[in-house]
Structure 1
Amino acid sequence: MRYGHGLVLGKFYPPHAGHHHLVRTAAARCERLTVLVCASSVESVPLADRVAWMREAHPGCEVVGAVDDIPVDLTDPDVWAAHVAIFRAAVPERIDAVFTSESYGEELGRRMGAASVLVDPDRTAYPVSGTAVRKDPVGCWPYLAPPVRGALARRVVVLGAESTGTTTLARDLAERYRARGGVWAGTRWVPEYGREFSERKLAALGPAGTWTDVSFASEEFPLIAAGQLAREDRAAREGAPVLFCDTDAFATTIWHERYLGSANPAVARVAEEGRRQHLWLLTDHADVPFEDDGLRDGEHLRPWMTDRFAAELTRTGRPFRVLRGSREQRLAEAVEAVERLLAADWGFTDPLPERRG
């Protein structure tokens, strides 16, 4: 049977493949479908994010959000009435059918004055739930869409002074995790956008140009920071539960000091507004010989830069670890730090309790 106006509602905390299957099924049976995202104030994923994720996944549907801080009690008529009042305030138009995968679907349909359509209640199409995702995001990674992956991926930044092995370590870490296979096979690393920016500036000088002829303007650094962050965000959406970044927008604040001798608040704003990283690995200049690759001239500044990175990481409350020793030693210590990060809590707060009788 085909319906005029259908409704799918849920917490989508966070949305997963089962949710998307429900929405697609409902959309195929309705002339028009509204998706209502209901979030409580105690939940750690903002309502606006969930609405945006569902809109991206289902552009043909109307997606709206509502705050619902009433605990679920399927045995209490007054609680039911309070929930339905929130639903109707968010979606005041007539509803012809409600689509759910839950046992309460029939009662919800009755109270909304609509038909109830049950979709895959046994989760055979996609054996996943929001509870499972919150408990084990890595195990549920195949069921998550790009925007959710982008929000959840643990981002590890490798940063340091010139010629301290940041690129080597970022690449080595990605290769180590890719070798694990499974969800880790898609592990990626993000190259340094600032280096590409610098290469273009040098190339623009022509064959006779050298690195000493290149100069930077302060207004270029916010662009570099934003470009780095954009690449990082794209890679996080497409990859595995961990992403390795060869520098980040925060590091650009120190590079501005290195080249221009002072801070630029605009760069710092980009770094703070785009702060989605979880761990910083600082490559010490010790034990790494300086190599001039044509884009470097700061061997004498390496101790100062290492100290500045450490000081600013500490001041801004960014968790970091200083890596020293050989390439193998640094990789081993980095993996140990990353494993602790992945084993830590992923930050989901518990939803409001539910009583189902």
Structure 2
Amino acid sequence: MKPFKNSLIVGKFAPLHKGHQLLIDSALAQSEQVHIFSYSSPEIAGCGPEKRARWLRSLYPQCKIHLITPEFLKFHFSQLGHVELPLNADDAVLHRRFCAFLWVHLVREPLDAVFTSEDYGEGFVQELNQYFSLYHPQHQVRHVLVDLNRVQVPISGTLIRQDPHLHRNFLAPEVYRDFVKRVCFLGGESTGKSTLSRLMAEKMNSLHVPEYGRTLWEEQQGHLGFDDLLKIAKVHIRTEELLAGQAHTFLFVDTTPLTTWMYSHFYFGHADPELSALKHRPYEVTFLCAPDFPFVQDGTRAGEDFRARQHQWYLELLQQMTIPYTLLTGTLEERICKIMEVLT
């Protein structure tokens, strides 16, 4: 039997780091159910509600997580009138009463403990107890203080936001991957995409995502069916997400679902609707490799004419989709210099 039935943690989690995880793990060890309220007004760049929700739910699916946004408040409390999200700079009492309001109207069960790593925790609990006494009698909420002086986990969200890559050891891979810039290489056959993605990963002490389409093509001895194209895109994305958490600053990606979508149309005349949606997957940096490289026929490629057609398709699609890109031309060394110029 754990000492607490319902416990509460409140935070911005901008970003969710291992200090927060120590706090949540401590609450889980002592509570039957942990509730997490997360909100920020204004939102902090790079740590929006969608990301915070993904971080918390992927690492702590057993917790009840509430991402509080203006849209959330309108959806849940429109019958009460206009409920505003407190500004980060507002008085602490306003924030404490707001959290008490959320607990009363969202959870509707007695609160046993609040876990914090801050010296304001006692005042927070006092305000909660006073607020709850107006609604229904309940036992006093207790405050549990965890690692106030940051001895166990010496980090803060402010430090991480200044340089998430320097402090990446304080971030779970599920969190850090959202700070890694995805750099993709597009282009026709034999334009240096695979070589560049691999060399740039080595040069930047990071990782690259190889082209899964080629891997599957080889595994199936050159036979790909219509359904294989969607499989290629989905496996490629899964690999990308996995490696992003292990990369450093940049993840170099050899082709994207846009390429797979193009091949689906070329070979089958249409694409699966899910693949058509995946072609819009965003990348922070896009490089288009020009077909001015010497063409190398490895026994799997269609030829120079097809490579030229592919390049024209990319030019047209990138313009239609308003995707910014940098054209890479010249020798391998010249292309690497251009990439470094863009990235640094």
| TM value normalised by structure 1 | 0.80
Q: Secondary structure at the match of 2:115?
A: strand
Corresponding residue for residue 52 of structure 1: 54
Distance 1:47 1:192 in 2: 32
Distance 1:291 1:76 in 2: 66
Residue 312 (structure 2) pairs with residue 285 (structure 1): no
Tell me the amino acid that sits aligned with residue 186 of structure 2.
L
Corresponding residue for residue 311 of structure 2: 306
Asked whether the equivalents of residues 41 and 88 of structure 2 are also in contact (C-alpha less than 8 Å), the reply is no
| Residues 261/284 of structure 1: CA separation in 2 closer, same or farther (3 Å cut) | farther
| Partner deviation per Cα, 1:320-355 (whole Å, 9 max, x = no partner) | 11111111111121122222xxxxxxxxxxxxxxxx
Residue 214 of structure 2, aligned match among 195, 202, 206: 195
Corresponding residue for residue 353 of structure 1: none
Distance 1:76 1:122 in 2: 21
Corresponding residue for residue 267 of structure 1: 275
Q: Secondary structure at the match of 1:238?
A: coil
Corresponding residue for residue 184 of structure 1: none
Q: Give the aligned CA root-mean-square deviation in angstroms.
A: 2.6
Residue 123 of structure 2, aligned match among 94, 107, 114: 107
| Residues 261/63 of structure 1: CA separation in 2 closer, same or farther (3 Å cut) | closer
Distance 1:73 1:161 in 2: 52
Asked whether the equivalents of residues 155 and 243 of structure 1 are also in contact (C-alpha less than 8 Å), the reply is yes
How much does 1:266 deviate? 4.4
Tell me the amino acid that sits aligned with residue 315 of structure 2.
A
Gaps of 5+ in 2: 71-84, 130-140
Corresponding residue for residue 91 of structure 1: 107
Asked whether the equivalents of residues 297 and 303 of structure 2 are also in contact (C-alpha less than 8 Å), the reply is no
Asked whether the equivalents of residues 40 and 87 of structure 2 are also in contact (C-alpha less than 8 Å), the reply is no
Residue 238 of structure 1, aligned match among 246, 252, 257: 246
Corresponding residue for residue 15 of structure 2: 14
Distance 1:9 1:76 in 2: 13
Distance 1:311 1:333 in 2: 22
Residue 226 of structure 1, aligned match among 206, 229, 234: 234
Asked whether the equivalents of residues 34 and 61 of structure 1 are also in contact (C-alpha less than 8 Å), the reply is yes
Distance 1:167 1:74 in 2: 52
Asked whether the equivalents of residues 258 and 305 of structure 1 are also in contact (C-alpha less than 8 Å), the reply is no
Residue 324 of structure 2, aligned match among 314, 319, 322: 319
| TM value normalised by structure 2 | 0.82
Distance 1:34 1:263 in 2: 43
Residue 175 (structure 2) pairs with residue 148 (structure 1): yes
Corresponding residue for residue 342 of structure 1: none
| Residues 5/82 of structure 1: CA separation in 2 closer, same or farther (3 Å cut) | closer
Gaps of 5+ in 1: 179-186, 203-210, 340-357
Distance 1:54 1:119 in 2: 19
| Partner deviation per Cα, 1:105-150 (whole Å, 9 max, x = no partner) | 1111112231222222232322322233333222222211122123
Q: Secondary structure at the match of 2:39?
A: strand
| Residues 57/79 of structure 1: CA separation in 2 closer, same or farther (3 Å cut) | closer
Corresponding residue for residue 351 of structure 1: none
How much does 1:59 deviate? 4.1
Residue 338 of structure 1, aligned match among 312, 328, 343: 343
Q: Secondary structure at the match of 2:204?
A: helix
Tell me the amino acid that sits aligned with residue 251 of structure 1.
T
| Residues 137/33 of structure 1: CA separation in 2 closer, same or farther (3 Å cut) | same
Count of equivalent residues:
317
Corresponding residue for residue 64 of structure 1: 66
How much does 1:53 deviate? 1.9
Task: Within 5 Å, give how 1:111-130 maps onto structure 2.
Answer: 111-113=127-129, 114-130=141-157
Distance 1:75 1:264 in 2: 52
Task: Within 5 Å, give how 1:11-50 maps onto structure 2.
Answer: 11-40=12-41, 42-43=43-44, 45-50=47-52
**Which protein has greater RCO, CA pairs closer than 8 Å, 6+ apart?**
1
| Residues 76/23 of structure 1: CA separation in 2 closer, same or farther (3 Å cut) | closer
How much does 1:226 deviate? 1.9
